Amino acid sequence: MLSIKIEYNIPHDCFNDFIGLIKETNPTDNLIPSDLYRTKKLVSKLGLTATKIDCCINGCMLYYKDDAAELFFRTCNAPRFKPNSRKQRHLKKDVSYSRLFYLPIIPRLQQLYASKSSADHMRWHKYKIAKNVVLSHPSDAEAWKHFCYYLNIYRKNLGGFLSIAQGSEQILRGEKRPVSGTCSWTLESPVSILIGLERAFGLI
């Protein structure tokens, strides 16, 4: 329901009326939320948060980490916040010109691996290798095989992939030589890999 609301830009009142109608047409003891507020409150328990990051109006800067307290962009000198009108001067929170939403991928992967049924699909590229020429998964494509090739080279030269985060846990195992066919490595902790990637690129 929330994804439909976002995709079609449904107003809040329309969403409330629509979900209220669905609730009324079901048995009286149903657990369907009655409005948008209760729907968001229910979904928030999943822990899939989104980080709001202010952007430069010209698209050339993120007000993030070391620049989180800046009010103007250093090059184009564009302001970060919209000027408050007389009616808005009582507001304590400024409104930025532009903003993006960063969706951390690690909690979402953890949710996928929490279920046995979805975790099986996440390991498709290792255990469901296609034996015909039909492209049934991205791992069947040449680009994926090139990724596996260079990943194995990286492991051979550096003795591990990113040496991630919380100690010296070896997260990859398998042959140390590059392969031209299927990928030879097995992921023991894909979430740990994503933690290392996000830290490497300064996202967390």
Strand 62-63 to 51-55 pairing: antiparallel
Tens-of-pLDDT digits for all 204 residues of the chain?
A: 888 888 888 999 999 999 999 999 999 889 999 999 999 898 888 778 888 888 888 877 787 888 777 888 777 888 888 887 655 556 667 788 888 888 888 888 888 888 888 888 887 777 777 676 677 777 777 887 787 777 776 666 544 444 443 333 333 334 444 344 444 444 444 555 555 555 555 545
Structure tokens at 16: 């409330």
- Residues in a beta bridge with 187: 172
**Quick one: which of 174, 196, 195 has its CA closest to 186?**
174
Read off the pTM: 0.50
